[in-house]
Structure 1
Amino acid sequence: MNEIKINEDELKGFDEYRSENLVLLVGTNPLPNYVAYHLLSMPSSPTSHIFFVCTKTTDTIADNLINVLKIGHDKWTKIQVNESNGKDIYSKISDKLKGKQKIGLNYTGGTKTMAVHAYRAVEAVDPDSVFSYLDARRLELVIDKKDCLTKRVPINTSVKPKIKELFQLHGYSVNSNGHIFMPEMCKILGNNLYEDFSKWCKENLRANSPKMLNKPKLRNVILPVNPPFEDLVIFWDGCSTLGELANKWNKKVDDLAKWLEGKWLEDYTLLSFQQVSDECDIHDSILGAQFNNNKFELDVAILKGYELFVASCTTADKKGLVKQKLFEAYVRGQQLGGDEAKIGVVCFASETSSDASPEIILKEIEEEWYLENKFRVFGAEQIPELSLRLKEWLNSK
């Protein structure tokens, strides 16, 4: 999944809707503009031009789009408008488009006021312009027709941004773990050993207290070798204590303790995504992404076309903690992937819990946040078959 290419064959299906002069309304989420550019622009035409209609607030986002899309300096124009002043929007767009033909307007971004008056301005200049917007729920490009009919064109995986491009569109640099750590051990932990191992971690790495042991005590923790942990012995590679293993694995002992206690679940989740990547059209992924000067973090994220799936991972089984992790993932996922983003949490919540089962948690979240078909809660019983459950999620509508 290292080399990511726009699907040129699928993009040919949008040729009849492309315009030499493409007008894009820039809102706080630049992803629709990124997608619209690839579907509707004519970059190979010597006379092609992109008009970014932005506000004082979104001017920087327009700059980010220009940089990420690598649009030549003579191929774009920014039109900064007052987003709540219809006259200002209409007049500025009209002035810039005067005398132009073959115009297209995609009005997915921006405010409603911007959309209404941009539409009026473009239509006044060229009544034969192509008007469109992206339907986030159905992942379709909707073309407005003169006869008041609309045409819907499925986008599918025609446009494939890189995850790092999503960060760049918001002006963020990103650091990530890069690769899955100890994948074979993750498989064993995920295959019905996770609950016993979690209990061992609480007893030995925290001594059943809320706080992790200090480093000297962590170094002296004896690694488990007796049943049910006999399958882990091969990974200890002759080490008998956590300190020895930390040295062997070239890790700080407290970082290793955190990984054993639960960070491994992030690696296991990405591994499960990768197991179904080909059949589910996953083309990019990221693990342990830290951005905005490390203030924010995403545990696991993957891209299917331009649809972002974010999975938060926690060994918690308490409803409050699971909901908190899901909310954090929702905020970051919406920020990067917009309305198209889907959010999940992989946790230890059990189906047998009377008040904190995955079903109960999901129901409460959808009711409290007034959002349906946006979330998934993968509980303890689903961890051994996580790749199958993720596949169902990836293919759901």
Structure 2
Amino acid sequence: MIGTNPLPNYIALQYFIGQNKYLKKIWLICSEKNSGINQDSTKEYAESLQKYFSKENLSPDYANDVQKVEFQEIIYITNIGSKKAIENQLEKIAKNSNNGKLHLFFTGGSKAMSAYSYYYLKEKFKNKFDASYLSARDWKIIFDNEKNIPESIADKIKINFDYLTELHSFEIIKNTEKHYCSSIEFIEIIESDEIEKFYCNSDGYNRDIFKPYDDHKIMEKIFHNIKNEDSNILKAAASDNCLNEEENKIKTDADRSKFKKKVDIFRNIIETLNYRPNETFMKIINSFPEDCRIYYYDSSEKPNFNTKIEYKKYNDAIEFLDGFWLEQYIKKINFKDNFDEILFNKELYKSSGGPENKFELDGVLMKGCQLIGVSCTTSKN
């Protein structure tokens, strides 16, 4: 029975196809859309499962001694609360079972759908019928005849992240794993208890200094300008007198206002609180590729802002400093554990539904059929 969460059905199919060499036929029972009673359809889940477990996709290990498993016509229930509607559709199973044994997996579906189906099929097949469900508490398939010893299948049944998202009708719209720089330096400063120095507002990483403005178009214009030797933003940022001189060269008040805004943003990055990065902060900066370092040392051995850096690389560097390093750090830790998949930066979207159907996972850990989602966030302060 297919409910709104198809994962238990995937688990059941993997388990029974793999365990029962006498299994011949599989019926998938799902709800059909019925707007009159506010009933959604689980058809897409049933079709996805049938396609995945079709003959073409079945592993040779799943072929029994006589023939491979045959999926029968999907059964659609028009009213999942109606005993009559359910029994009318389940009659197809009774007619096409060839007097064989029948097992009902009833984790999915509504309570009424499960109850009516169970008692109807039990009455039809009598001592040739049994059933089971997946216990969410301990990941065990529980059998009603109590002859089978329940076993946890959490690690035994595996599913990869790509199919898990596809099965739930989500699309991966962002599928990039950044490897901006090694997190070894962060591991070192964490282990040496220097992380507070790195985030010290006066001379460590300060979000208000390095992320003063969210408009990427304006930031790109600023960084494009300051790369030039005769940059008017660099000249204007030197002092208020220099700012006045550069403003006087601009014809309209509107353009002068836009120019001053850019200068103020750049001044914030280079001058706030007479900012001078500390040694711990610079240790991280110096671990970056050379063209991504936002500071460099001059002959006086004082860190200077790198005006030649491209904005994209500056932004990547800041994103790393702002918290992406934490994702990399977690990745290092998790590699020590036996996960089937360790993935990062997955943005998912489901076309049907509201804004809640779009979200991002900073980290994804797959273990058997279990997904652990990781969200990495640093506080504003």
TM-score normalised per structure 1: 0.62
Question: How far apart, in 2, do the equivalents of 1:253 and 1:104 lie?
Answer: 60
Q: Deviations over 1:102-131 (max 9, x none)?
A: 321111111111111111232123233231
User: In structure 1, what is the equivalent of residue 83 of structure 2?
Assistant: 86
Distance 1:178 1:284, change over 3 A: same
Give the counterpart of 2:348 among 291, 299, 310.
291
Question: How far apart, in 2, do the equivalents of 1:214 and 1:124 lie?
Answer: 71
Counterpart residue identity of residue 162, structure 1: N
Distance 1:195 1:155, change over 3 A: same
User: In structure 2, what is the equivalent of residue 258 of structure 1?
Assistant: 319
Distance 1:90 1:311, change over 3 A: same
Are the aligned partners of 1:190 and 1:268 in contact in 2 as well (CA < 8 Å)? no
Distance 1:88 1:237, change over 3 A: closer
User: In structure 2, what is the equivalent of residue 53 of structure 1?
Assistant: 29
- 1:137 positional shift: 1.3
2:71 paired with 1:75: yes
Counterpart residue identity of residue 206, structure 2: C
Matches within 5 A, 1:239-318: 239=293, 240=296, 241=305, 244=308, 251-275=312-336, 277-278=337-338, 282-292=339-349, 295-316=358-379
User: In structure 1, what is the equivalent of residue 136 of structure 2?
Assistant: 136
Distance 1:313 1:233, change over 3 A: closer
2:25 paired with 1:41: no
**Residue identity (%):** 23
Of residues 36-45 and 77-86 in structure 1, the stretch that sits farther from structure 2 once superposed is: 36-45
2:202 paired with 1:173: no
Are the aligned partners of 1:27 and 1:58 in contact in 2 as well (CA < 8 Å)? yes
Question: How far apart, in 1, do the equivalents of 2:166 and 2:307 lie?
Answer: 39
Give the counterpart of 1:202 among 199, 203, 207.
207
- 1:153 positional shift: 1.8
Distance 1:215 1:292, change over 3 A: same
User: In structure 2, what is the equivalent of residue 330 of structure 1?
Assistant: none
- 1:164 positional shift: 1.0
Counterpart residue identity of residue 211, structure 2: R
Counterpart residue identity of residue 159, structure 2: P
- 1:196 positional shift: 3.5
Larger Rg: 2
Counterpart residue identity of residue 29, structure 1: N
- 1:317 positional shift: 6.6
Question: How far apart, in 1, do the equivalents of 2:131 and 2:22 lie?
Answer: 22
Counterpart residue identity of residue 271, structure 1: K
Are the aligned partners of 1:90 and 1:120 in contact in 2 as well (CA < 8 Å)? no
**Structure 1 unpaired stretches of 5+:** 1-24, 319-397
User: In structure 1, what is the equivalent of residue 283 of structure 2?
Assistant: 231
User: In structure 2, what is the equivalent of residue 353 of structure 1?
Assistant: none
2:188 paired with 1:153: no
TM-score normalised per structure 2: 0.64
Distance 1:178 1:255, change over 3 A: closer
Distance 1:258 1:230, change over 3 A: closer
Question: How far apart, in 2, do the equivalents of 1:70 and 1:40 lie?
Answer: 14
Are the aligned partners of 2:131 and 2:144 in contact in 1 as well (CA < 8 Å)? yes
Distance 1:178 1:126, change over 3 A: farther
Alignment length, in residue pairs?
Answer: 284
